[in-house]
Amino acid sequence: MSFRDWVLHVDLDQFIAAVEVARRPELRGRPVVVGGSGDPTQRGVVATASYEARAFGIHSGMALRLAAKRCPEAVFLPSDPPTYQRVSDRFTATLRQFPVVVEVLGWDEAFLGAHTDHPEDLAVGIQEAVRSATGLSCSVGIGDNKLRAKLATGFAKPAGTYRLTRDNWAAVMADRPTDALWGIGRKTARKLAEAGLVTVAQLASADPAELAERFGPVLGPWYRILALGVGDTEVSGAPYVPRSRSRETTFQHDLTDRSEIDAHIATLARRVARDVAAEGRPATRVTVKVRFAPFLTQTHGIALPTPTSDPAELERVALAALELFEHNRPVRLLGVRAELRDA
């Protein structure tokens, strides 16, 4: 086989839970849930769950209290971001030891651009090096573009490799539901199903004009492109640049007093403003997130008249966005996000 360009997607398996188990070996094989303060009697959400916990239906973003109901015997641990960052740094440093272009996606995953005739051999070498450096296992998806490499990782888990390319795309993906595609979530899948498009194959063969009319001139045709397996082939080694900065707070008791809600939004907005200033790029839009009891989450955003990092202005716009909500339910979580101007 001649040398050719490949995209590899490397993803640490159950990253946060795996870090915790690595420093507490006695937890190996037990259901482990990490999130919040680690106290399931307090409000908070699951950051990650071990595979053993996922077997009980526990997943990221779930309320800790619900996770405890689903698996009372689970071990609940507080989140420890500094430790996760240190392990992540070792992970990315290990990837950069290989003759590849590394595009970091987050703490626990990265795309690699490689020119090789044996991508599986490269993947296995990466897995061995990552395990040696971090003590953690990783899965590697191999593809001819980013979309296929990312999806291939799902078939590789846990701790395996899988190749998904144009050659086997239809055989592997055609009969799968549309939300199996990277970029299509459950809500979009439901809308597609209402249009009679349930599988990837049906979406791939849909009329682009009809998709554009129903879902918009940009999103509609884009959904079909995803179903065809078309994706970006360029892996960039440029440093990761955050697109936004955000802060949020989950309250142990529901908020009903509007003045108290306003005060919390103002505080969050000023914290975000400090993050924006530290980033050195002004904000262009402010979005407020409200989670009403019991678990209804809504967001509203407002574009800033001019890019700014001024705390007073970000606070003003955040409070204006808060006015866009119907305040007819108790509030359990508030968040403020500032989208940043491109670097």
In a domain, 335, yes or no: yes
Q: Is 198 helix (H, G, I), strand (E, B) or coil?
A: coil
In a domain, 238, yes or no: no
| Residue numbers in the chain where pLDDT is lower than 50 | 1
Are 187 and 281 contained in the same domain? no
Determine phi and psi for 40, rounding to 5 degrees.
-70, -10
Active site residue 109: yes
Are 130 and 9 contained in the same domain? yes
pLDDT digit string, tens, across residues 302-326: 999 999 999 999 999 999 999 999 9
**What pLDDT score was predicted for residue 1?**
39
In a domain, 211, yes or no: yes
**What pLDDT score was predicted for residue 343?**
65
In a domain, 233, yes or no: no
Are 126 and 251 contained in the same domain? no
Are 329 and 263 contained in the same domain? yes
CB 311 within 8 A of CB 273: yes
Give me the CATH number covering residue 196: 1.10.150.20
pLDDT digit string, tens, across residues 219-262: 999 999 999 999 999 999 987 777 899 999 989 899 999 999 99
Ordered strands of the 75-77 beta sheet: 48-49, 32-34, 75-77
Determine phi and psi for 48, rounding to 5 degrees.
-160, 160
Stated as kind and residue range, the H or E segment containing 94 is: helix 81-95
| Residue that finishes a domain, picked among 81, 113, 135 | 81
pTM of the model: 0.79
Q: Is 184 exposed, middle or buried (0-12, 13-18, 19+ CB in 10 A)?
A: buried
**What pLDDT score was predicted for residue 229?**
97
Counted domains in the chain: 4
Residues 133, 289: Cα–Cα separation, whole Å:
38
**What pLDDT score was predicted for residue 3?**
67
CB 191 within 8 A of CB 215: yes
Residues 114, 98: Cα–Cα separation, whole Å:
9
Are 11 and 155 contained in the same domain? yes
**What pLDDT score was predicted for residue 168?**
98
As given in the structure block, the two tokens for residue 224 are 């079909």
Give me the CATH number covering residue 37: 3.40.1170.60
Give me the CATH number covering residue 106: 3.30.70.270
Are 23 and 111 contained in the same domain? no
| Residue numbers of the domain that contains 205 | 173-227
Are 133 and 280 contained in the same domain? no
Are 195 and 159 contained in the same domain? no
In a domain, 189, yes or no: yes
Catalytic residue among 109, 279, 315, 339: 109
Could you give the angle at which helices 15-23 and 81-95 cross, rounded to 10 degrees? 100
